[in-house]
Amino acid sequence: MNRQDIRPASTWRFPRPYGVRSLLAAVLVLVVLVVTGKRVEIDRMVILNVQAVGALVDPRIDSQVDRGLAAVGHELWPMQISERTEVGRIEGLDRRHLPPFSHLQTIETVVQTLDPNTLRMVSRRERTEYLVQPYGYLEHVGIKLIETIEIALWGTLLAVLIGAPLAYLSARNLTPFPIIAFSARAVVGFFRAIPELISALFLVLAYGFGPIAGVVALGVHAAGFLGKFFAEDVENADPEPQLALIAVGANKLKVLRYAILPQVMPQYIAYTLYILDRNVRMATVIGLVGAGGIGQELKGRYDMYNYHHVATILVAIFLLVFALDQLAARLRRSLL
């Protein structure tokens, strides 16, 4: 380095962290936020939240949010745990072998009926026998949760079976013909563009109410994500092991098996576990349109205003998602 290349400290300038373009971009972003925030009522949301926080400090402040949350909490509590069914509606009930922890209960009520002779309302007593199961509704919710897990599991398996071939056809370093890669990427993008809830609406019409529509809806949408992620990992794999195998005469399948898969398999496992975790949560959502699982039970109870049952379902969903999240985290640590 020549002495002429060394500039004195007095002439050195620290580059400006921003310029005219940065300021114009910031102003543009601010204008977009202001316009869109007005449309989605962000200003009203801020006011309502400030009122809600103020009401917690000063009870004299009226808050719409606090009143609404209090009303919801009052409707949801206490949670429904037991179940009572009229014996006359149970076919083939064996009184000697009742379900575990259950018992029969007779309730006497006074009803008003019209006497056809005197045309006056008279009171009479009616006895109704019920089968009471102290944990009956918890058992019913547990069965629905198992069905939800099964829907998510089979949806994930279907996604892998569809997404993996599409990924290898989409990868440019494996597909010899560009038209095949373009077509596979178009299919992957189409699958990813259709939300599960929308596809479940149409699949329920095709397959009927039940878990089949849920499995297909979850599998097709997740196949779009796995196809994209798998293909990108294949394309970004280290090319040197691939070139070494090609140099000794290995075909595409051997290159995929011995050079690419060992590199991308940890990412594949992580993606699949994430899709499984996501499918469990989405299986509760698509059940709202009749695609089986706990979501279908939630929708039915909500429509009948059985909010105590809704509270039990919501707590069960939270516990299920939390438990599966912990299980997935342990699997990631042990497999990756």
* pLDDT one-digit tens code per residue, 176-189: 788 999 999 999 99
Average pLDDT over residues 147-174: 92
Three-state secondary structure call for residue 124? strand
Instruction: Check pLDDT > 60 for residue 2.
Output: no
Q: Please name every residue paired with 124 in a beta bridge, in sequence order, or none if there are none.
A: 111
pLDDT value at position 128? 86
pLDDT value at position 243? 85
Average pLDDT over residues 220-230: 94
Confidence of residue 15 (pLDDT cuts 50, 70, 90): low
Instruction: Check pLDDT > 70 for residue 211.
Output: yes
pLDDT value at position 246? 84
pLDDT: is 87 or 11 the higher one? 87
pLDDT value at position 223? 95
Are the beta carbons of 246 and 255 closer than 8 angstroms? yes
Instruction: Check pLDDT > 80 for residue 10.
Output: no
List of residues 6+ apart from 156 with CB closer than 8 A: 218, 219, 222, 272, 275, 276, 279
* pLDDT one-digit tens code per residue, 193-205: 989 989 999 999 9
Domains of the chain, by residue range, sit at 83-134, 137-335
Instruction: Check pLDDT > 90 for residue 159.
Output: yes
List of residues 6+ apart from 233 with CB closer than 8 A: 263, 264, 267, 268
Strands of 83-86's sheet in order across: 83-86, 120-133, 103-115
Average pLDDT over residues 82-89: 85
Confidence of residue 309 (pLDDT cuts 50, 70, 90): very high
Alpha-carbon gap, residue 82 to 102, rounded angstroms: 10
Most confident of 76-85, 162-171, 255-264: 162-171
* pLDDT one-digit tens code per residue, 265-293: 888 988 998 899 899 989 988 988 888 88
pLDDT value at position 58? 84
> Hey, what are 78's tokens?
């206490």
Q: What is the CATH number of domain 137-335?
A: 1.10.3720.10
The pTM (predicted TM-score) of the whole model is: 0.80
Question: By CB neighbour count within 10 A (0-12 exposed, 13-18 middle, 19+ buried), where does 271 fall?
Answer: buried
